[in-house]
Amino acid sequence: MAAADRQHIYQTIQTSLAHIPSYIGQESLDDYCNRIETAISYTDTMIADANTANANTFTDAHKADIYKSKMAGKYLPVPPQHAGNNINTPARFRTWLGDTYLQRTVGTHQSAIQRLFQETFKTDDNPETYKARIRQYLLGVPDNDANALGFLMAHLPSELFIWMEGVNPGRITAFFNSLKEL
C-alpha cells in the first residue's frame, strides 16, 4: 500500500514540477529550490495522510530524490554523500547544491569576491537585472559582510550612491531592497 501511495504522490508532484526546468545554474539556487519546495508542498496533506496510514511512506529522502532529479548539466551526477553526510534531506541537498554552485559556477569564495569587485551598476541596469547578475557572487557571503556591501555601494552611480548612503543599509538584503525603492 505504501508504494502505491508513494507513486500517487510522485505523480501529483510531477504535475507541479513539469513547468520547472532542470537546474543548470540559470537562477539563484534558493529561488530554484523554493520553487521545488512549493511544488512538493501542494501535496503536504496527501503526504501526511499516507505517512499516517503507512509509516514513512514519503520521507525527506524521497523529497531529496525529487530535488536530485531536477539537476542537469554541470550539476550531474549528484553524489550520494557530501561533507560526510548522505544527501537524503532537502536541507542537505541545498547544502550540497550551494557548495557545488560555488565550485562549478562561481569558483571559490575569494574569486567570487574578486569578480564582485569588477562588476558595476550598468546604465541599462534596473534593480532586478543588477540583482540577478550580482547575486551569484554573493552565495555563501554572510548578509552582514561589510566588504561585499562596500563593493555593492561602489558599483552605484554617484547620485544613487549618495541616496543609498543616506539609507545606510547594514545588510546585503537591505541594500537590494533599498535599491528597488530608490
Helix axes 172-181, 146-155, angle to 10 degrees: 20
pLDDT tens across 72-120, in order?
A: 998 999 999 999 999 999 999 999 998 888 777 666 667 777 888 888 8
Could you tell me if 66 and 35 are in contact, meaning their C-beta atoms sit under 8 angstroms apart? no
pLDDT of residue 118: 87
DSSP 56-94: TSS-HHHHHHHHHHTB-GGG-SPPSEETTEE--SHHHHH
For 42-70, how does the pLDDT look when each residue is reduced to its tens digit (9 = 90+)?
A: 887 777 776 666 777 788 999 999 999 99
Task: Specify the pTM.
Answer: 0.61
